[in-house]
């Protein structure tokens, strides 16, 4: 069984664990690979400093644990653009795109009585992202923004999305913190044996990381096995290209 987690927040953004704490916990659980992911809007002046620390930890623990750097950025507008600048994405190994807030224009449509505005926005942006329109590697907690509001795209659109996701170069995250265990999109993909579902605990502390690892079932581990391996291979290749 592969043991990887590609979505762990540190105290460089809204997490409480230091990079050192995260690595210690990952080693304790004998994880093979982790992605340290922090929220970035536009660019962040601490990215270079975090990278230096990650490189040091790689030097110390690289033979036991592969450590990657990532950022989580939000989908900003109705075209699915990400709230990030190229100079930030160039500094990290991978980018997670997530639906966090709702753009003002979509909110206004909802206030104006368009009850489908949010679902329609999510649906069209997800299609754009799956087409790799914005250079993100992973779609974080894919449909949590809908699940949280008890919304759904409906079975016909979900079916087409699953087909598109199966053919996409993008990875989709199995995120236990996202309305667990109700993850319609990731579950539908898993049922199709998708090769591009990665695991991300979205832990914001070492105790959340421990809880997620403890709670991880064989079912869950099975869903993410192929995707984690495939994503790890891509990260390794990309790093090879850099050095
Ligand atoms: Zn998120
Ligand atoms: Zn997150």
Range of the domain at 84: 4-237
CATH number of residue 16's parent domain: 3.20.20.140
243 alpha carbon – ligand 1 mean position (Å): 30
- What residues form DSSP beta bridges with 218? none
* 39 falls within a domain: yes
Closest of 202, 215, 214, 226 to residue 96, by C-alpha: 202
**159 belongs to a structural domain:** yes
Q: Kindly compute the dihedral angle of the four CA atoms of residues 89, 68, 235, 75, in this order, to the nearest 10 degrees.
A: -40
Residue 201 Cα to ligand 1 middle (Å) = 11
Q: Please give the model's pTM, rounded to 2 decimal places.
A: 0.95
pLDDT at residue 220 in the model = 84
Query: SS3 for 13?
Result: coil
User: If you measure from the C-alpha of residue 197 to the centroid of ligand 2, how many angstroms do you get, rounded to a whole number?
Assistant: 16
Tell me the per-residue pLDDT of 52-103, one tens digit each, with 9 for 90 and over: 999 999 999 999 999 999 999 999 999 999 999 999 999 999 999 999 999 9
Q: What are the residues whose beta carbons fall under 8 Å from the beta carbon of 223, sequence distance 6 or more?
A: 174, 186, 190, 197
User: Is residue 62 domain-resident?
Assistant: yes
pLDDT at 17: 98
Residue 242 falls inside a structural domain: no
**Domain assignment of residue 83, yes or no:** yes
Q: How far is the CA of 112 from the centre of ligand 2 (A)?
A: 31
Residues composing the chain: 243
Q: Is residue 154 part of a domain?
A: yes
Residues of the chain with pLDDT under 50: 243
- Is residue 31 situated within a structural domain? yes
Cross-strand partners of 35: 68
- Tally of domains within the chain: 1
For residue 36, what pLDDT is reported? 98
So what's the pLDDT on residue 182? 73
- Which numbered ligand comes closest to the C-alpha of 38? 2
CA of 167 to the centre of ligand 2 (A): 25
pLDDT at 94: 97
pLDDT at 180: 61
In a domain, 243, yes or no: no
SS3 of residue 74 by DSSP: strand
* Helices marked H in 72-217: 86-89, 104-111, 117-130, 144-147, 155-166, 184-191, 206-215
Residue pLDDT, tens place only, 169-180: 999 999 987 656
* Whole-number Å distance between alpha carbons of 162 and 123: 12
User: Which residues share a beta bridge with 138?
Assistant: 96, 171
- For residues 75 and 101, the answer to whether their CB atoms sit within 8 Å is no
Rounded to the nearest angstrom, the distance between the alpha carbon of 96 and the centre of ligand 2 is: 9
pLDDT at 181: 63
- Asked whether 37 and 7 are in contact (CB, 8 A), the reply is yes
């Amino acid at each position: 069984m592969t043991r990887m987690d590609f979505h762990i927040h540190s105290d460089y953004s809204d997490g409480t664990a230091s990079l050192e704490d995260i690595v210690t916990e990952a080693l304790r659980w004998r994880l093979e690979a982790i992605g340290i992911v922090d929220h970035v809007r536009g660019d962040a002046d601490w990215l270079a400093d975090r990278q230096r620390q990650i490189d040091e930890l790689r030097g110390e623990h690289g033979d036991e644990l592969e450590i990657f750097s990532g950022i989580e950025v939000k989908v900003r507008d109705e075209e699915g653009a990400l709230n990030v600048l190229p100079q930030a994405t160039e500094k990290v190994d991978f980018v997670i795109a997530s639906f966090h807030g709702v753009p003002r224009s979509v909110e206004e449509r909802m206030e104006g009585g368009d009850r489908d505005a949010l679902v329609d926005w999510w649906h069209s942006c997800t299609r754009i992202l799956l087409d790799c329109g914005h250079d993100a590697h992973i779609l974080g907690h894919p449909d949590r923004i809908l699940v949280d509001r008890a919304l759904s795209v409906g079975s016909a659109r979900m079916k087409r999305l699953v087909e598109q996701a199966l053919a996409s170069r993008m990875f989709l995250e199995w995120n236990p913190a996202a309305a667990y265990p109700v993850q319609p999109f990731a579950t539908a993909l898993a049922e199709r044996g998708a090769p591009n579902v990665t695991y991300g605990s979205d832990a914001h502390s070492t105790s959340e990381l421990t809880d997620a690892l403890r709670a991880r079932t064989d079912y869950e581990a099975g869903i993410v096995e192929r995707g984690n391996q495939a994503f790890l291979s891509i990260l390794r290749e990309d790093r090879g290209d850099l050095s």
